[in-house]
Structure 1
Amino acid sequence: MTILLPNPGGGVRAYEPRPEPLGFTAGVPLTSRTVFSAAHVVADPYADTTPDSAAAVDWDATLAFRRHLWSHGLGVAEAMDTAQRGMGLDWAGAAELIRRSAAEAKTVGGAIACGVGTDQLTGPATLAEVRAAYEEQLALVESTGAQAILMASRALAAAATSPDDYVELYSHLLRQASEPVILHWLGPMFDPALEGYWGSSDLDAATSVFLDVISAHPDKVDGIKVSLLDARREVELRRRLPQGVRCYTGDDFNYPELIAGDEAGFSHALLGIFDPLGPLAAEAVRVLDTGDTPGFRKLLDPTVELSRHLFQAPTRFYKTGVVLLAWLAGHQSHFTMVGGLQSARSLPHLARAYELADGIGLFPDPVLAENRMKSLLTVHGVPQ
């Protein structure tokens, strides 16, 4: 059978889907790397909402997807930007997500780390208000027993007037944290409101401020998650980290080489692309656990084209492709997103995502994926 896919410039092309998936199953725990998948939320398709409404979440499907990730040995990075934090999921929804997912993690013995931000602030805020918002969210995450991820804050980026403001606020939060946290540096390609984070648009200057914060509190920093899509900069940064502080790559363009590492070290992983790649990524890391770096790269390198496609500019809309693939893979019954974000990518973009994912054997049931993709294409005027 073939499926007709739309071309970006018009017209259609015939594509013959792969007959069999790669078919990875759950295996032994990962040992050589700590790996988190930032997980998406599943919208409730029956809720009568508008783009301005509070998110309506299908909690059963959302938690089932997290159990899927845990079953393959991955940790879950919860309530991050992949979960549409700040793009459809407000703080009230994120807080409920954190509570439910943390409870589920305890039930199944899964690793979980949760995003701490300031998104309950809806307008201009003072530094004192930013600090209080962070404190509120940190307290909630710690109360659930989950690890905290201190996320970059739009409100802080708007309120800070110098690098010292970042140093003072983060130092306060690290002193207050009861357990070591993960610091998250999210670049403006993921969120334009974070331009100039750490007090400068000069990345060298910003890196120095970031490292000053870490070096002053190494006992309170488990690791850093870097999402700048710049492999060279990440390697240089991880080589400058204090002993015992991990680098979690958030580079969805260059993750195989960064996780594999070099003679001076390697990156662990906290990645949005590991939402759709979960079973394959876990299998690749298990191969790496045996010391077989070429085997690891052989499995993971072919996924990079798909990841670069999903995360192409405007990068912040990568969530649309992630949810499409979850639907095609059978992890949810619909292609609906909170905030109506399923409309954020074009039909040719989604068709190419399907083609690339199918080509690497990502779908557990290729026939289901083909039929669902055909239904999406048909309703958008591409007859099959």
Structure 2
Amino acid sequence: MSQGANLEKYRDYKNYKYYEVTGCQDSLEGLKALLLKKDSSLVHSGSLNTSQIVLSPRLVPVLNSFAQKERLKAKVLYDDVSEIINLEKGSARRRLDKFSWDAYYDVKEIHNFILNTSKLHPESTELIVGGKSYEGRKILGLRINTPYEKGQRETGKPVFFIESGIHAREWIAPATTTYFINQLLTSGDPDIVGLRDRFDWRIFPTVNPDGYHYSYNIDRYWRKTRSRSSNGCRGADPNRNWDYNWGQHSASDRPCDYQLYAGSRPFSEVETRTLSNYISKIDNLLFYVAFHSYASLLLLPYSDSTDHVDNYDDLVQIGKRSIEYGSRVNNITYDGPGTAAETLYKASGGSMDWVRYAMNTRLVYTYELRGSSFHWPPERIAEQGDEVTQMMLGLADGAKELGYL
């Protein structure tokens, strides 16, 4: 396994500002283009009328001048990003003795959680490997498939697949996914027990392990894989690398693009290539769910189109049930459901869209978890974990109501 990350200088983001900018979409695109000319590693994200930008101190006057000229509203979310990053990392240093949900952990600790959980529940779980990474890590997951009760017909349960952590910097997604695994296996709530027993679960907390490791140890805002292009630049966006309308929207053909390089071709990344191969061999795949952050939003396929799939109304109805279940936990209601093209921006080459198209999987969703940035307080991980648990229950109940189960 490559140890290159250990030799690189840690990017501390000292005195970097985290801005939220709102206004006309054309003006926001102009601002982003201007800043990218001055900083090729600019961290940016956003939706139709809002952009979030992590900005070096030297570019603050550029942003303020452009915002004033174009009548954009710029709000500072974090005055010094390094302080937030230190709080996130400090939580893990305090809790290395035991895996918990008030800290963020590196890939090794996440994999150890999966291994230990399988050992604790040998009768209902098994380790699964969905593929491998560029640096040689496993895409390690857990299968949860409880034995049939006496008298039940063993016809094969529908498969519920969960993919998480495809974007390295979205730490809350793997954390929430491990929380959900623990809930499925330890909760005494009869609804959660029933949810566990109803499906053959295939759950992968971090499908971009190299990128996550690099984000955790070197560059908090790293999003891509860690493959090396012929010109020496690193990584591709693994959620732009799937073979569905590859490279068309919200994607870059420049290997050095810090965020959106779609790869040299569809499935150029070993992570997406091997994971798609694993998925293609699954029989009876009913649900495919991906966890991202952040937007408090439920997305449906296809991400690059405003045209709707044939069971779109069913997806909306089931999705609304999921959102309603989740809102009962903390009185927070997600937006959607809808396509990314309608609610955020057009994006091509994503995993959800490929699964829908290539596998014709009927119930496919992407959850953008909560937050006002890529940061979520580690002491509040369980808050989102409980919401997600209820939202998964809502999906199952909604699907049963419409005859999918």
Please, what TM-score do these two structures have when normalized by structure 1? 0.30
Structure that is richer in helix per residue: 1
RCO greater where, 1 or 2, for CA within 8 Å and sep 6 or more?
Answer: 1
Structure that is richer in strand per residue: 2
Please, what TM-score do these two structures have when normalized by structure 2? 0.28
